[in-house]
Amino acid sequence: PSSIRLAVIPGDGIGVEVTAEALKVLQAALPQDVKVEGTEYDLGARRYHATGETLPDEVLAELQGYDAILLGAIGDPSVPSGVLERGLLLKLRFAFDHHVNLRPSRLFPGVPGPLREPGAVDFVVVREGTEGPYTGNGGTIRKGTVHEVATEVSLNTAYGVERVVRDAFARAQARPRKKLTLVHKTNVLVFAGSLWSRVFTEVAAEFPEVATDYLHVDAATIFLATQPERFDVIVTDNLFGDIITDLAAAVTGGIGLAASGNLDVTGTFPSMFEPVHGSAPDIAGQGKADPTAAVLSAALLLEHLGRTKASPVLSESARKIEAAVEADLAERAAHDAPRTTSEIGDALAAKAAGL
Amino acid sequence: PSSIRLAVIPGDGIGVEVTAEALKVLQAALPQDVKVEGTEYDLGARRYHATGETLPDEVLAELQGYDAILLGAIGDPSVPSGVLERGLLLKLRFAFDHHVNLRPSRLFPGVPGPLREPGAVDFVVVREGTEGPYTGNGGTIRKGTVHEVATEVSLNTAYGVERVVRDAFARAQARPRKKLTLVHKTNVLVFAGSLWSRVFTEVAAEFPEVATDYLHVDAATIFLATQPERFDVIVTDNLFGDIITDLAAAVTGGIGLAASGNLDVTGTFPSMFEPVHGSAPDIAGQGKADPTAAVLSAALLLEHLGRTKASPVLSESARKIEAAVEADLAERAAHDAPRTTSEIGDALAAKAAGL
Ligand SMILES: CC(C)[C@H](C(=O)O)[C@@H](O)C(=O)O
Ligand SMILES: CC(C)[C@H](C(=O)O)[C@@H](O)C(=O)O
């Protein structure tokens, strides 16, 4: 393509800073003749305080017209918990049917990580993104009294589970190790667990080359914290995926490096790319945030568009960004002082442009 | 007391082996004149296969008469997932109103742990035990078809949340650091989250000396995996508690050392003590299991009975077991070969008896 049209939602806190760097590196990695047309949308805490809006219907409709969405981070302590999460971030994921929440974890050379004996960690979590305990289904009676009862309902459908499980099998099939682990809590959540197990077993029959495995989510945290190298692809539900991907980030150098994509793999709706980290209001505006997670999310964006638009040029640029990050991280130990957000962005852009 | 009456449920796999050692150490730590009267109950996979029973009503009624229950581990791959968990283990926890699931985590001197830079880790998780997504509330329609829908309902009551939150505050108050962290996912699970937050804030007013803190469960995994020393007491819901206590065990030397108590703090029903680990059928019957988690669970049992029976002798014996474990772990690096389950049990018993 001669251009890619992006809706850019910098959001709150460090989201603004890291998104600027991600766009810088994105443009640098693309050939001169592919232009990034980024349109910025002011959504998040600022807009909520100014207008009371989280995601107006007209904006949602407009966003639908883009090739993809690049998002920084959403959330601020000044906004009641849940308002922006449910009204903006999750609304986007649900409205645009982002059923595959893709979160790769890799321990890059040069990154120390917290483990004493780190192995070669390189896995990807395929987290379901449109079901489970995230649907907002539930309620409260007798609120604020000693008789209050609150429920949260996890909704799981064969349709929703099958499409994400199939996607995960296809990804496992395409990787050298060809291994897929289902993570759930089938021994306690027996209704949802039985659905996930059945669908997993059925889809497995279509992928005879993929080795399969099952772990309860509690046991999965043990392996993630001690032998993360054992994983190749993990498929799991929305809430378990939320939890284990933060843990996965922690054991591979921290949340400053963890990228994610919220994909509608059918291409009907724009997919959305965002770092796993939040808006970190405590360090916002100080140039302290590491933009690497946002930059790697931009790489996932190009990889996704490269595939859906059948454009090798975009895929190639995605690989350039990854290579730039890899090179930059390998050199990090050599820097005397911590670099600012834009210094890291500049370094990554220069590297990506030179590849 | 001149005797303590225990219902002993060795259960499945390594549960049998580690329970024998726990009883051995328990008796050794007590003064000669306090007798342990243990009555063994055959519950678990064997009984299920033989009779189809998981926990008959008569057995449940009988168990109610004991001072406490000592449990090994439940579960076997030959039994469909969920049958023994729901029909036996969770049935006991729910029937006996075990609302405080107590899980201490400590990095004992001499235990390497997986972290490159381990701090002084010593915290306790107070996990709610009778509510949340563990109630078995949920269902399935169109099972086995492409139109299957499965739900899991998390039930949360002010009554249930308040009693466990108050217990956690009291425990924090009694510890030197006096710090309590609420772990939940209030930004997504807004109904249950709002109840937990409100109750937490209200009860906090009764404990002005306790410093409070809140972490989303995903963020909590990051701190557990990288800076576990920052925690003192954590209070959380049933499912989050399940997940983070396995992680906590992993960063403090593994599941072979993690003890737990399922407490009815009112003393109406017998409390139940069990290692956090499972039945580990792959190593069962080989003398390979580390009985330390079961032994430390027996210490929790004595500590609990010491408190509810106002018996300093029992509390003192609990401390002897802990000291024996501490001494044994400090010496572990010196052993040339791995010891068997009963060798470790013998060493702990000898140490506890000598203190
Ligand atoms: C902010 C929150 C709603 C979100 C989630 O829970 O999915 C975040 O934690 C994430 O992982 O993207
Ligand atoms: C076996 C299972 C039902 C149990 C739980 O989920 O509570 C176990 O994982 C635990 O932590 O005690």
Ligand 2 pocket, Cβ-based, cut-off 6 angstroms:
A 187-188, 218; B 85, 89-90, 242, 276
Give the pLDDT confidence score for residue A207 in this predicted structure. 98
Mean predicted confidence (pLDDT) in A319-346? 94
Mean predicted confidence (pLDDT) in B321-330? 97
Mean predicted confidence (pLDDT) in B299-320? 96
Give the pLDDT confidence score for residue B16 in this predicted structure. 97
Question: How far apart are the CA of B326 and the centre of ligand 1, in A?
Answer: 40
C-beta atoms of A249 and B187 within 8 A: no
Query: How far is the alpha carbon of A106 from chain B, nearest alpha carbon, in Å?
Result: 16
Task: Return the minimum-mean-pLDDT range out of A143-157, A333-347, B18-32, B90-104.
Answer: A333-347
A-B interface: how many C-beta pairs under 8 angstroms?
220
Q: Which ligand is nearest to the CA of A261?
A: 1
- The confidence band for A268, taking pLDDT boundaries of 50, 70 and 90, is very high
Task: Return the minimum-mean-pLDDT range out of A49-63, A108-122, A298-312, B209-223.
Answer: A108-122
Query: How far is the alpha carbon of A98 from chain B, nearest alpha carbon, in Å?
Result: 17
Question: What string of H, E and C letters represents the secondary structure of A206-271?
Answer: CCCCCEEEEEEHHHHHHHHHHCHHHCCEEEECHHHHHHHHHHHHHHCCCHHHCEEEEECCCCCCCE
Pick B250's closest partner by Cβ from A143, A157, A225.
A225
Q: What is the pLDDT of residues A65-88, one digit of tens each?
A: 999 999 999 999 999 999 999 999
Residue of A107, A182, A198, A218 to mutate when probing chain B, most B C-beta within 10 A: A218
Number of domains into which chain A is organized: 2
Mean predicted confidence (pLDDT) in A3-17? 97
Give residue for tokens 């010593």. Answer: B122
Mean predicted confidence (pLDDT) in B210-219? 98
Give the pLDDT confidence score for residue B3 in this predicted structure. 92
Are A172 and A122 in the same domain? yes
Are A209 and A131 in the same domain? yes
Separation between Cα atoms, residue A258 and residue A324, nearest integer Å:
15
Q: What is the pLDDT of residues B71-86, one digit of tens each?
A: 999 999 999 999 999 9
Q: What is the pLDDT of residues A105-156, one digit of tens each?
A: 999 999 988 998 888 999 999 999 999 999 999 999 999 999 999 999 999 9
For residue B353, is it within any domain?
yes
For residue B105, is it within any domain?
no
Decide: B218 in ligand 1 pocket, CB within 6 A: yes
Does residue A1 register a pLDDT over 80? no
Q: What is the mean pLDDT of chain B?
A: 96
Residue that terminates a domain, selected from A208, A228, A251: A251
Give the pLDDT confidence score for residue A336 in this predicted structure. 83
C-beta atoms of A152 and B192 within 8 A: yes
For residue B258, is it within any domain?
no
Q: In whole angstroms, what separates CA B103 from the centre of its chain?
A: 5
C-beta atoms of B133 and A156 within 8 A: no
Are B124 and B237 in the same domain? yes
Q: What is the pLDDT of residues A168-207, one digit of tens each?
A: 999 999 999 999 999 999 999 999 999 999 999 999 999 9
Decide: A258 in ligand 1 pocket, CB within 6 A: no
Mean predicted confidence (pLDDT) in A201-230? 97
Cross-sheet strand order for the sheet of B100-106: B35-40, B3-11, B68-73, B271-275, B259-263, B100-106, B122-128, B233-236, B179-184, B211-216
Decide: B331 in ligand 1 pocket, CB within 6 A: no
Residue of A201, A221, A236 to mutate when probing chain B, most B C-beta within 10 A: A221
Q: Is B346 a catalytic residue?
A: no
C-beta atoms of A86 and B153 within 8 A: no
Are B29 and B155 in the same domain? no
Are A240 and A136 in the same domain? yes
Structural domain boundaries, residue A198: 114-251
With beta carbons under 8 A apart, name residues in chain B contacting A117.
114
Question: How far apart are the CA of B237 and the centre of ligand 2, in A?
Answer: 13
- The confidence band for B333, taking pLDDT boundaries of 50, 70 and 90, is confident
Does residue B1 register a pLDDT over 80? no
Separation between Cα atoms, residue A215 and residue A184, nearest integer Å:
7
- The confidence band for B112, taking pLDDT boundaries of 50, 70 and 90, is confident
Does residue B196 register a pLDDT over 80? yes
Nearest CA to A132 out of B151, B137, B239 is that of B151
Is residue B266 classed exposed, middle or buried when 0-12, 13-18 and 19+ CB atoms within 10 A define those classes? exposed
For residue A83, is it within any domain?
yes
CA angle A74, A76, A79 (to 5 degrees): 110
> 10 Å Cβ neighbour count for A206?
11
A123: helix, coil or strand?
strand
Determine the atom of ligand 1 nearest the C-alpha atom of A90.
3
Query: How far is the alpha carbon of A4 from chain B, nearest alpha carbon, in Å?
Result: 32
For residue B103, is it within any domain?
no
Give the pLDDT confidence score for residue B68 in this predicted structure. 98
Q: Is A309 a catalytic residue?
A: no
Residue that terminates a domain, selected from A251, A280, A309: A251
Tokens of A50: 């100014």
Are A120 and A247 in the same domain? yes
* CATH assignment at residue A150: 3.40.718.10
Residue of B nearest to A250 (CA): B222
For residue B260, is it within any domain?
no
Determine the atom of ligand 1 nearest the C-alpha atom of A74.
1
Q: Per the annotation, does B27 bind a ligand? A: no
Task: Return the minimum-mean-pLDDT range out of A29-43, A159-173, B12-26, B328-342.
Answer: B328-342
Pick A150's closest partner by Cβ from B138, B188, B194.
B194
Are B212 and B288 in the same domain? no
Are A123 and A17 in the same domain? no
Give residue for tokens 């291409």. Answer: A267
C-beta atoms of A90 and B188 within 8 A: yes
With beta carbons under 8 A apart, name residues in chain B contacting A163.
none
Are A126 and A229 in the same domain? yes
Give the pLDDT confidence score for residue A118 in this predicted structure. 82
C-beta atoms of B140 and A191 within 8 A: yes
Decide: A102 in ligand 1 pocket, CB within 6 A: no
Separation between Cα atoms, residue B119 and residue A151, nearest integer Å:
38
Pocket probe mutation, ligand 2, options B43, B76, B90, max atoms within 8 Å of Cβ:
B90
Mean predicted confidence (pLDDT) in B77-99? 96
- For chain A, what's the residue count? 355
Separation between Cα atoms, residue B230 and residue B232, nearest integer Å:
7
- The confidence band for A2, taking pLDDT boundaries of 50, 70 and 90, is confident
Are B124 and B222 in the same domain? yes
Query: How far is the alpha carbon of B251 from chain A, nearest alpha carbon, in Å?
Result: 7
Pick B115's closest partner by Cβ from A116, A189, A218.
A116
Tokens of B352: 């506890």
Give the pLDDT confidence score for residue B336 in this predicted structure. 83
Q: Is B179 a catalytic residue?
A: no
Residue that terminates a domain, selected from B251, B279, B302: B251
Q: Is A122 a catalytic residue?
A: no
First-to-last C-alpha distance (Å) of chain A: 20
Determine the atom of ligand 1 nearest the C-alpha atom of A75.
1
Q: What is the pLDDT of residues B221-271, one digit of tens each?
A: 999 999 999 999 999 999 999 999 999 999 999 999 999 999 999 999 999
Are A247 and A128 in the same domain? yes
Q: Per the annotation, does B289 bind a ligand? A: yes
Mean predicted confidence (pLDDT) in B148-158? 98
For residue A109, is it within any domain?
no
Separation between Cα atoms, residue B15 and residue B21, nearest integer Å:
10
Give the list of residues 6+ apart from residue A27 with CB closer than 8 angstroms, or none.
A36, A349
Decide: A89 in ligand 1 pocket, CB within 6 A: yes
Are A205 and A291 in the same domain? no
Contact A9, A70 (CB under 8 A): yes
For residue A127, is it within any domain?
yes
